[in-house]
Amino acid sequence: MTTATSSLYDIPLETITGSRQTLADYAGKVLLVVNTASACGLTPQYDGLESLQRQYGERGFTVLGFPSNQFGAQEPGSAAEIVAFCSSRYDVSFPLFAKTDVNGPAAHPLYVELKRAKAGADGNADIKWNFAKFLIGRDGQVLARYEPKTAPDALVGDIEGALG
């Protein structure tokens, strides 16, 4: 049986280093998908995201970062520049993916499905800004969506609940 949400695992992705991948590589894990940016007022959330990764990674949790330049051109760098920034400034250990459009006609299919599964707090599907977050359960179901200003540490209860 194929459902729209299980198809999340089938959507082709490109890592920040150019490798091909799908979310099937993370099947059975709790995932936090985040559209990120290096020059945003919310960029310090990388600290909180990395903290979640380190705290829950061994229990089957993974943050997945999708840099996006769609909001105020706040992710203008190349893939190498993004990796260097995330490594040197925030010691990011979670996977990063190729720069991704999250809204509009060129929106990545992953974000099309995530937004279809969970609209924003105002009922609108579009991503409002950098650092919108989607929590995906071990079964590939989209459990929750969080607005950009929601601090990563505010997700602890939901993450622990999803981890079981």
* 76: three-class secondary structure by DSSP: coil
Domain 6-163 in CATH 3.20.20.120: no
Percent of the chain scoring above 70 in pLDDT: 96
Active-site residue flag, 86: no
d(CA 37, CA 75): 5
What is the domain partition of the chain in residue ranges?
6-163
Percent of the chain scoring above 90 in pLDDT: 93
Task: For residue 75, count CB atoms less than 10 angstroms from its CB and return exposed for 0-12, middle for 13-18, buried for 19 or more.
Answer: buried
d(CA 125, CA 80): 31
Segment 77-90 mean pLDDT: 96
Find the catalytic residue in 16, 32, 40, 110: 40
Instruction: Give 100-124 pLDDT, tens digit per residue.
Output: 999 999 999 999 999 999 998 888 8
